[in-house]
Amino acid sequence: MIRLLLAVTISTSISLLGTRYLIKWLSSKGIGQPIRKDGPGGHQTKAGTPTMGGIAVVLGAFVAYIISDLYNGIYTRSGLFVMLAILGAGFVGFLDDWIKIRNARNLGLNKKMKIIGLSTVAFGFAILMALFTEVHTEVSFTRWDSISFDLGPIGWVFWAAFIILAMSNAVNLTDGLDGLAAGSSTLCFSAFTVISFWAFRHPEIYQLDHALDLAVVAVSMLGACVGFLWWNAAPAKIFMGDTGSLAIGTGLGCLGLATNTQLLLPIICGIFVLETISVVVQIVGYRWMNQRRIFRMAPFHHHFELHGWPETTVIVRFWIISGFFVAIALGIFYADFVEVSDFREVFVP
């Protein structure tokens, strides 16, 4: 428990102070976010707001993880691999942000290069986990044997890469309003902190190696998101950019895989899933239904803006929805624990 408290304190402090420094430095260099012209009209006033604040999120989480493990801890392969994946995705996002700033346009890495970069991170993580850890290769819901459908090492690698790519892009799509992605991510990482620590306390049920170290990773990201949100709350003084959104999405995907909660992940991250679905529905409707737009604009947080909701109203209501999803997911997780515990008391000698 002390390691978790140490990690969240360090990550929050570094992110909070580091973001403040980034705002001053980026502003002094005139480094700001280009805003797409086809977005909501009110967003044009945000042009020039410092971006790449995700640097403070990634750095805060990484330093907190490293330092906290020095206290009666030990670096585990699972924890290190998750953190390396977060760093890798953050680097891909940094390149994307830097190109946008350098070219003074809202286009960074082209789609092909972005996919190659994220795929390298995703497959790298999956292969390292399959080769060097005792990760279970079953498709899982609340624990490794909840479904008992084994993909095998090769199948699991491709399944894991798909989940990471999906989550990184889902968070990236959601990052369009001040504090929306950071606030929702804080709730999601809190869920993984609880899940990982619970698995650590009940190894006979979850058989999750390195569970405590995964809890440290989750709480480090939680604290880093909170520290950043202080400055990113509306009206934002800085944006996280792809540096932050890709790192956060990758972290959530990797934690879902490492904790054997792959199919619980879409519930925990329900707001990100809904945002992604809104984009898919919009594209399908436009291309296959006589160019019909289902939403005024996608992702659908912009749809509500164009309906007249103030930006802060959209953000807070989406946070509430995210909280509901997290609560439902944790409820399912605990209900399964109670059922399994009762079964073991009755049938296991």
CA angle 165, 171, 175 (to 5 degrees): 145
Q: Across all residues in the chain, what is the average pLDDT? A: 91
Residue-level pLDDT at 342: 66
User: Total domain count for the chain?
Assistant: 1
pLDDT in tens, 147-162: 979 999 999 999 999 9
More confident residue, 14 or 209: 14
Closest alpha carbon to 336 in 149, 78, 140: 140
Across 86-109, average pLDDT: 85
Extract the tokens encoding 193: 């902190």
Across 41-48, average pLDDT: 61
Residue-level pLDDT at 106: 62
Residue-level pLDDT at 190: 98
Residue-level pLDDT at 295: 84
Extract the tokens encoding 111: 């789609």
- Lowest pLDDT segment from 21-25, 109-113, 117-121, 332-336: 109-113
Spatial distance between the Cα atoms of 156 and 297, rounded to a whole number of angstroms: 36
Whether 295 contacts 307, CB under 8 Å? no
Domain residue limits at 107: 2-347
Residue-level pLDDT at 38: 55
Spatial distance between the Cα atoms of 164 and 258, rounded to a whole number of angstroms: 12
Q: Does residue 348 register a pLDDT over 50? A: no
Across 61-68, average pLDDT: 95
pLDDT in tens, 167-213: 999 999 999 899 999 999 999 999 999 999 999 999 999 999 899 99
In this structure, what are the phi and psi dihedrals at residue 147, rounded to the nearest 5 degrees? -120, -35
Across 277-285, average pLDDT: 90
Residue-level pLDDT at 191: 98
Whether 180 contacts 315, CB under 8 Å? yes
Residue 17 banded pLDDT, cuts 50, 70, 90: very high
Whether 211 contacts 77, CB under 8 Å? no
Helices (H), the chain: 2-28, 54-68, 77-103, 111-132, 152-174, 180-201, 203-206, 211-232, 241-258, 265-268, 270-288, 300-306, 311-347
pTM given for the model:
0.93
